[in-house]
Amino acid sequence: MTSEEWQALAEIIATIVAVLGLLAGIFLKLLAAFFVTRKEHKDLAGRVDNVEVGMNRTVKKEDLNELNDRLYGVEQKLSGTDANLQRTNGLLQGNIDAAKSLHSQLNILIEAGLDRSRS
């Protein structure tokens, strides 16, 4: 091979290397467009952690079912208590009426006693 042939071969190889370098650059640029940087990855991981913490703090279906059962139990106890409260209220009302009657009788006796002491 002559030097001119070697030079032509070197030019072809240089062109191939330049084209391959250009293609590699384009390929790397496309990869960079599809993937995030380390800083972006850290930021996104922090956001995901915050979301997970928030989800752990939210009320779960089991918690709501347990609360519903407890409320139902309290309602059942209170419905039985309503009858007791009404009976107690009736007794108290009777005592109030008796106290009013006693109060009026005492007032009459006090007035009669005051009238005797004046005379």
Query: What is the pLDDT averaged over residues 10-23?
Result: 94
Q: How confident is the model at residue 119 (pLDDT cuts 50, 70, 90)?
A: low
Residue 65 DSSP label: H
How far apart are the C-alpha atoms of 49 and 41, rounded to whole Å?
12
Residue 20 pLDDT greater than 90, yes or no: yes
Query: What is the pLDDT averaged over residues 6-26?
Result: 93
The pair phi, psi for residue 72, each rounded to 5°, is -65, -40
Q: How confident is the model at residue 80 (pLDDT cuts 50, 70, 90)?
A: low
